[in-house]
Structure 1
C-alpha cells in the first residue's frame, strides 16, 4: 500500500500539473495521497511519539527549505529583475544572437540563457528576459515557435545550472553536506558540459530541421512581445555584474561556504545599480517585482519539497533508498540514481538535493567516496528527472512565458533537459571512475 501511495502520489502530482493545477495546491494534495496509503496520521496530535504526521512532515519540509534558501532566491530574483529592467540582460542576449545569426537562431538562444544563468541570474528571470528576442529571431528564421521553450530550458537548466563554478543553488547545496567547494570536480565538469552542449545543440537543430521539413513554420500571435526599442547598455557594462558575481563567489566560498552566494548576489545587485542607475524608470518597482517573483519561485519549490518530505517518511521510500544505496558497482552510480529519482519525485533539482544528500552523504562518505566526485555527480544528476512535466520552471516556461501547451512543447523540452543530462551524468561517473 505504501508503494501505491508513493508512486501514485507522484503520478497524481504530474497529472495535476499537466492539467494546470497550481503547485501550492497540487503539492499538498499529492502528499496527502501518499500519507493516506501509508497510514500516516493527519495531525501531529494524532500521531504516536516519534511517528511523522502528514501536516508536520509537509510543513517541516516546506519551512526547512524556505529558511535555508530564502535569501538566495530573494537576491537572485532581484538581481535578475534589475538586469532585465535596465536592459543589461537584453543587451547580452542581442550581442550573442547578433554574432551567431538567424541561421543559428536556436543556438543563440541557448548561449544567451547559458551565460545569464551561469552568471547567477534566476532561471525564471532569464526566461522572461530572453523570450522576446527568441520570438523575434524564430520569426526571422521562420522556425516553429513550439521549440522556443526547449531552447531556453536547455540553455538554462542543464549544463550551466550544475557545472563547476556556477552560482545557481543546484551547485551550492552539496557543499553543505559534503564539505566541498563550488568548483568540485571541475575538470570532469568541463568535459561533461562541452559534451552536453554539443549533443543538445545538434539534437535541437535536427528536431527543428525535421519540423520544418514536415511543413511547420512560425505562427505570429497578436500578443507577441516586442524587444526593447530604446538604446541598450553596452555588452561590456552589461556583462560586468555577472563577472562580479562569479568573482565574489570564488573569493568567498572557502570561508563562507554556501553563504558566499548571498554576498556574491548582493555584490551583483550593487554593481548593476552603480553601472546602470540612470536606466531604471521604476527602481522601487523592480525591487518589489523581484521580491514577489522570489516568493513565487521558492514557494513552488517548497511545495514539492514538502511533498518529498512526506514521501521520505513512508516505508516505501526507505525501501527505495536502501535499494538505491545498495546497487552493485561504483557508489557514484547509487548516488546518481538516488538523487535523480528523488529529484524526479519532488519535481525539483534543488529540492531533490536537499532531501537526498542528508540521507546518502553519510553513507557514501563513510565508505570512502571522493567528496568532489560525489558533489559533481549529485549536482549533474539533480538536473535530469527534475525537468519532468510537473516541475515549476517547466510549467512557467512552457505555459506562462511561451504560451504553449505541454502537448506541443514538452517532447523537445524533455529530450534536451532530461535525456541529455542523464547521458551527462553517465559520462561523469565513467570519467571519475577512469581518471
Structure 2
C-alpha cells in the first residue's frame, strides 16, 4: 500500500510540476513545493533532525541537488551569459546574422540558428553555453526575417539536443557515459547513428518550418520588447567575419581542453570568447560594463531556475518509489534495446536530466544485458539517443533555462514547438535505431 502511495506521490508530483511550469508559475516556488509533496507521499522526513543520521530527507536532498548544481555550473553560466550579452551589445551578433541572411536567404533564418547550434554542440560546447551563445544571433535573425520569436527556443533546442548531442563521435557527455559501462567508443554504432541523425535533422527541420509557416499564415510576426538590446537595426556594425572569431575561439578552446579539463574547459573557452569580442569589437560597444552586469544578473536567474528543478530530481531519486520504478523499468521483458531505451528515457524524464537517466540506469542495465550477449555498440547508441527525449519535458533544467531565462518566453507559447522537436523527434529516432539494429545494421 505504501508503495502505491509513494508511486502516486512521485508521478503526481512530477505531473503537478509540469502543469505549474506550463502555467507560468515561478520555479523557485513550485519546484520545492512539488518536491515536498513527493517526499511526504514517500514517507521521507522533512528535516534532517527528524531523520536518522545520514538518512534521506527532504531538506538535505533538495538542497544538495540545488547547491550541487550551482557549485558545478555557476561560473560556466556566468561566462556564458556575459559572452551572449557582449556579442549582442557590440553588434557582433547582428553582424553575423545579417551576413548569414545575405548568404542563405531570409527564409532560412531558422535553419541558420539550427546549424550554428549543431556546429557548436558537435564541437564539444555545452548545451547551456550553446543556448547562451547563439541566442543573440538567433534573436537578430528572427527580427530581420520577421519570424515569431516564440520559435527561437525550439530552434536552439533542436539544433543542440537531437541529431548532434547523441550521435556517434559527439563529445557531449550523453555520448560518453555509456563508454564506462559498455566498454565501447564514442563512435559506437556509427553506421546506424548516421541514418538516425539524418532522419532527425531532415524531419525535425521540416516540422519546424511547417510550424513557423502556419504561425505566419495566422498573422504572427516578430514583436520587439523593451528588454531587447537593439530595437532598430544598427548601422555601425563590425565586420561579420571578424565577429565570428569569438565563436571560433569558444569552439576551438573547448575542443582542445575538453578531454583534459572536462566542463571546466567551457569556462576558459567562454572567457576567451568574451576577451576576443572585446578586443576585436571594442569600438562598437554601446556600454560594455552594462552588458557584463546584465549578463551576470541573467546568469544568476538562469542557474537558480535550473537548480530548483535539479533539487526536485534530488528528492525523487532518494525515494523508495523511485528505486522500485527503476527496478521495474530495468527488468522490462523483450528486446534489451527496447527495455534499455525505455528505462533510460523514463528515468531521464523523472530526473529532468539525460545524463542522469543514463548514469542511474546503465550500472544496473549494462551487466545484465551484456551477460545476455547484447551488442554493446547497439545498446550504447540506443540508450544515448533515448536519453535525449523525455529529459526535455517542460520541467527539464535545459528546457526551463532556454525558454524562460535565455529567451524570455513562456512555456505556454514556446513549449509546444520545443517539445515536438526535442521530445517527439528523438523518440522517433530511438524507434528507428532499434529497428535498424534489429535488422542487423
Q: Verify the 8 A CA contact 2:310 2:397 in the aligned structure 1.
A: no
Q: Which residue of 1 aligns with 2:220?
A: 218
Question: After the TM superposition, which residues 231-246 of structure 1 pair with which residues of structure 2 at under 5 Å, given as runs?
Answer: 231-246=236-251
Shift of 1:316: 1.4
Question: After the TM superposition, which residues 87-236 of structure 1 pair with which residues of structure 2 at under 5 Å, given as runs?
Answer: 87-115=91-119, 120=125, 121-138=129-146, 147-163=151-167, 189-210=193-214, 216-219=218-221, 221=223, 223=225, 226=231, 228-236=233-241
Q: In structure 2, which of residues 76, 79, 82 is the aligned counterpart of residue 72 of structure 1?
A: 76
Counterparts of 2:206 and 2:266, CA distance in 1: 33
Counterparts of 1:309 and 1:25, CA distance in 2: 16
Shift of 1:7: 0.8
Counterparts of 2:264 and 2:412, CA distance in 1: 40
Q: Which residue of 1 aligns with 2:12?
A: 8
Counterparts of 1:375 and 1:158, CA distance in 2: 16
**Alpha-carbon displacement from aligned partner over 1:188-212 (angstroms, at most 9, x marks no partner):** 5554333212101112233345556
Counterparts of 2:428 and 2:122, CA distance in 1: 21
**Alpha-carbon displacement from aligned partner over 1:89-124 (angstroms, at most 9, x marks no partner):** 333322222223234344344334544665644414
Question: After the TM superposition, which residues 25-424 of structure 1 pair with which residues of structure 2 at under 5 Å, given as runs?
Answer: 25-115=29-119, 120=125, 121-138=129-146, 147-163=151-167, 189-210=193-214, 216-219=218-221, 221=223, 223=225, 226=231, 228-329=233-334, 331-346=336-351, 348=352, 351-353=353-355, 355-367=356-368, 368=370, 377-391=382-396, 394=399, 406-424=411-429
Q: Verify the 8 A CA contact 2:77 2:303 in the aligned structure 1.
A: yes
The two structures have a TM-score, normalised by structure 2, of 0.80
- The 3 A distance-change label for structure 1 pair 183 and 128 is farther
Shift of 1:187: 5.9
Q: Which residue of 2 aligns with 1:24?
A: 28
Q: Which moved more, 1:177-186 or 1:379-388?
A: 177-186
Shift of 1:292: 2.7
Shift of 1:317: 0.8
Counterparts of 1:292 and 1:114, CA distance in 2: 27
Gaps of 5+ in 1: none
The two structures have a TM-score, normalised by structure 1, of 0.81
Counterparts of 1:400 and 1:253, CA distance in 2: 26
Q: Verify the 8 A CA contact 1:181 1:254 in the aligned structure 2.
A: no
**Alpha-carbon displacement from aligned partner over 1:361-389 (angstroms, at most 9, x marks no partner):** 33344454787766655553343223323
Counterparts of 2:182 and 2:298, CA distance in 1: 30
Counterparts of 1:164 and 1:112, CA distance in 2: 19
Shift of 1:234: 3.1
Counterparts of 2:376 and 2:82, CA distance in 1: 32
Counterparts of 1:257 and 1:371, CA distance in 2: 25
RMSD: 3.6
Q: Verify the 8 A CA contact 1:109 1:152 in the aligned structure 2.
A: yes
Counterparts of 2:437 and 2:272, CA distance in 1: 34
Aligned length: 425
Q: In structure 2, which of residues 430, 434, 439 is the aligned counterpart of residue 425 of structure 1?
A: 430
Q: Which moved more, 1:392-401 or 1:99-108?
A: 392-401
